[in-house]
Amino acid sequence: MKRLGAAGVGALFLARQASLRVDSAAEPETMAKPAQGAKYRGSIHDFPGFDPNQDAEALYTAMKGFGSDKEAILDIITSRSNRQRQEVCQSYKSLYGKDLIDNLKYELTGKFERLIVGLMRPPAYCDAKEIKDAISGIGTDEKCLIEILASRTNEQMHQLVAAYKDAYERDLEADIIGDTSGHFQKMLVVLLQGTREEDDVVSEDLVQQDVQDLYEAGELKWGTDEAQFIYILGNRSKQHLRLVFDEYLKTTGKPIEASIRGELSGDFEKLMLAVVKCVRSTPEYFAERLFKAMKGLGTRDNTLIRIMVSRSELDMLDIREIFRTKYEKSLYSMIKNDTSGEYKKTLLKLCGGDDDAAGQFFPEAAQVAYRMWELSAVARVELKGTVRPANDFNPDADAKALRKAMKGIGTDEDTIIDIITHRSNAQRQQIRQTFKSHFGRDLMADLKSEISGDLARLILGLMMPPAHYDAKQLKKAMEGAGTDEKALIEILATRTNAEIQAINEAYKEDYHKSLEDAISSDTSGHFKRILISLATGNREEGGENLDQAREDAQVAAEILEIADTPSGDKTSLETRFMTILCTRSYPHLRRVFQEFIKMTNYDVEHTIKKEMSGDVRDTFVAIVQSVKNKPLFFADKLYKSMKDGISQLGVISPTIMPTRGYLAISGHIFGHHNLESVATSIWWGESRDAAEHPQCTRQACATRNYPARKAKAEKCTQGPQGWVGPSLCPLRAHNLSGDTGSPMTNSRQRSQACPSLLEEPRPRWPPCQPLESSLLTACTGRRVGRNLRPSAYSLQM
């Protein structure tokens, strides 16, 4: 039997858990002391110079007479560890012959009382009280039972059982059995035993066996064998279960959570999902619970109190970091906005710090964002297109073939697609000229009369010179009622100076009006000023200037209202901020955004989204994303435009494919330069909406027929040396190209990094339509016939 030592297990989990601190199998049991060799991650520490008698006297004074000094009470209790609080309780009884907790209950009220009293109890007794409240009276608080019993270690569970017996002279297991039923009851009893394996040696054979047993108990069985789920999830060690979950995904093509949701139901399902989450990462489980407790109208105060009290001396720092990364706001700020009074002050002290505030504390979320910009600054993105000049190009033969394809009844669309998508834009212009010389006819007019709909827009777009195509799209965006702001933003925020100048000339030539005048007459306010600035094509093209970058970062912090000391009036700051984003070079802006993070602990993109609104926000976000990784920007737009089905193809075709080679009309501007880079970005995931299964998203996007399920940050991190994986960036996409971050462009590399790609069942494709055929050909650089589909993983980059 193969056995993996602790080092082997750690290596297997390195890629998946790099962005998060995985809770160890042995969490600190005494709240003020971490386990041996573990780094303390609590927010409450032992108070230096602690004197229990002095604290007891101060608390007595705070509660003596009319009213009570709540500030003094919360200040003392939240700055002492739980061990020290127990000493204060003993001293209080020795000095005054009274029970401190009883006095606190008498003097305080409401949520503040519940929070302070919870802090004064030893951890196990606090858990016992929560469970007693959950099963007392009419009804049961199943969520409380799930949270406590699914997250505690073996030793914590033993202490809980003993504390319950001591406090209420009742058997906890008997009380739970009397108040619950079914498989939910059975799993609670199993967890209550505190017998989960803790061996750091994992059997590889047993992992495979457990995967097979779970699969046969659920997916392969008519009905469900709940006993197998209970036995394996309730007894195996966390290290073992993490390997089981990984292997289960590879074997079945779906995560264990999906199987649990499909096979189980009710409170039993919720309990099993909580166990899985705690096995994966206990801090992440509590971060999610805290967020749900405070989001929306109202606050689930019992949940908030229970978690803040129980985790304040265990893993609160980990919870805070995950919370900031996952929800793009600090736990501190959410508590501050959702609570009030002394109750709020106490919770904030337990939280221990604001991860959104700049200072000595540099939270993991900010570190991740900083590294992402750092990598973006050093990476050399090699732009690759899928449409290249045809070998042995013969414009005469092509012109004759196109004429034949359109002559007579009907149209040979396959021939048109095959020729146009396999010629560079320069070659297409030669074909246009040759067509007119031979036949005295305008090729564009003939194409327009022979084909229609989205296919016509696609083919005609490919036939236009890049600058003229962009000019046409800008014209369409501004003519008639209303304005297509998204098209204006996409084009003007992503083009280079040379491309912008060419667009200006093309617009003047085609429409006898300057682009600046057209923008001025159709837009207004700050949005107009930004677009005009971009339309001048005056972006600097030099390197970075560190001193200037720091000044620019300060301006950004002030205009986004997160700087401590604003300097200057707002109008002036807005103008300077616009100038920075619209005229500074890309290398300089990357440095600005790094300095911004160091000043504020915020990523500039997320801050703009949070603090700004409307078209101004969308334009600035487009600029920032383009600076970070332009192919990824277009990959994201491509995915969003196609994820809801065919209705979106008419939206994406006219703007991206003709101009970038990334959408459908490859061969304009970047069309011959970076479609492969964009497709690579799609392949490795569309950044923000990460789903639960690694998938060939490029192929899924292109065909529209297979759901595009994006790679979750912790799944596909392995790759060739130097590849920038998701472990460095759980916030956004992680796939820079170039010397320091070459994406996997080889099918063997991809299959090695994510074996489940090769195991994914291949979909049955319906016949390709002409439009789809041209889209696929443009994306892949290969001919895809009307009745042919690519195999599930044949779209090589």
* DSSP assignments along 357-394, one per residue: S-SS---HHHHHHHHHHHHHHH-------S--PPTT--
Vertex 291, ends 179 and 711: CA angle to 5°?
A: 105
For residue 666, pLDDT over 80 is answered with no
pLDDT (tens digit per residue) in 605-657: 888 888 888 999 999 999 999 998 888 888 888 887 776 554 444 444 445 65
What is the CB neighbour count within 10 angstroms for residue 17?
A: 17
535: closest CA among 580, 575, 488?
Answer: 488
Q: How much is the pLDDT for 85? A: 97
Three-class SS state of 422: coil
Q: Which residues contact 711 (CB under 8 A, 6 or more apart)?
A: 684, 685, 690, 694, 695, 697, 726, 754
Furthest-apart CA atoms within the chain: distance in Å: 111
Element (H, E) at 202: strand 202-203
Amino acid at 732: R
Q: How much is the pLDDT for 523? A: 92
Three-class SS state of 4: strand
pLDDT bracket for residue 39 (50, 70, 90): confident
**Range name among 326-330, 559-563, 687-691, 775-779 with the lowest pLDDT average:** 687-691
Both tokens of 440, joined, read 């005295």
pLDDT (tens digit per residue) in 510-540: 999 999 999 999 999 999 999 999 999 999 9
Instruction: Report the share of the chain in percent with pLDDT over 70.
Output: 72
| CA pair distance 540, 585, nearest whole angstrom | 5
Q: How much is the pLDDT for 660? A: 55
Three-class SS state of 685: coil
The CA–CA distances, whole Å, from 4 to 7, 8, 137, 240, 755 equal: 8, 5, 48, 10, 21
Q: Which residue has the tokens 């040759």?
A: 434
For residue 773, pLDDT over 90 is answered with no
For residue 589, pLDDT over 90 is answered with yes
Q: How much is the pLDDT for 331? A: 93
8 A C-beta contact, residue 641 and residue 651: yes
Q: How much is the pLDDT for 401? A: 94
| CA pair distance 238, 244, nearest whole angstrom | 10
What are φ and ψ of residue 101, in 5° steps?
Answer: -65, -40
What are φ and ψ of residue 3, in 5° steps?
Answer: -130, 140
Report residue 415 CA to chain centroid gap. Answer: 43
Q: What is the mean pLDDT of residues 90-99?
A: 95
pLDDT (tens digit per residue) in 314-350: 999 999 989 988 887 889 999 999 999 999 999 999 9
Question: How many CA atoms within 13 Å lie on the side-chain side of 647?
Answer: 1
Q: How much is the pLDDT for 8? A: 39
Q: How much is the pLDDT for 356? A: 73
Q: How much is the pLDDT for 633? A: 86
Q: What is the mean pLDDT of residues 557-570?
A: 64
What are φ and ψ of residue 191, in 5° steps?
Answer: -65, -35
Outline where 108-141 has alpha helix (H). Answer: 110-120, 123-135
pLDDT bracket for residue 37 (50, 70, 90): low
pLDDT bracket for residue 24 (50, 70, 90): very low
Q: What is the mean pLDDT of residues 708-731?
A: 32
What are φ and ψ of residue 612, in 5° steps?
Answer: -110, 175
pLDDT (tens digit per residue) in 459-510: 999 999 999 999 999 999 998 888 899 999 999 999 999 999 999 999 999 9
For residue 30, pLDDT over 90 is answered with no
Q: How much is the pLDDT for 717? A: 34
Both tokens of 682, joined, read 């799609």
The CA–CA distances, whole Å, from 536 to 478, 510, 515 equal: 18, 18, 9
671: closest CA among 469, 456, 380, 402?
Answer: 469
Fold of 123-192: Annexin V; domain 1 (1.10.220)
| CA pair distance 635, 36, nearest whole angstrom | 47
**Range name among 195-204, 235-244, 343-352, 746-755 with the lowest pLDDT average:** 746-755
| CA pair distance 39, 555, nearest whole angstrom | 38
Q: How much is the pLDDT for 735? A: 33
Q: What is the mean pLDDT of residues 220-233?
A: 88
| CA pair distance 476, 473, nearest whole angstrom | 5
User: What DSSP line would sit under 254-290, residue for residue?
Assistant: S-HHHHHHHH--HHHHHHHHHHHHHHHHHHHHHHHHH
Question: How many CA atoms within 13 Å lie on the side-chain side of 739?
Answer: 4
Q: How much is the pLDDT for 86? A: 97
pLDDT bracket for residue 96 (50, 70, 90): very high
Rg for the chain (alpha carbons), in Å?
31
**Range name among 265-269, 622-626, 674-678 with the lowest pLDDT average:** 674-678
Beta-strand (E) ranges in 382-481?
A: none
Q: How much is the pLDDT for 77? A: 96
For residue 700, pLDDT over 80 is answered with no
Average pLDDT along the chain: 78
For residue 404, pLDDT over 60 is answered with yes
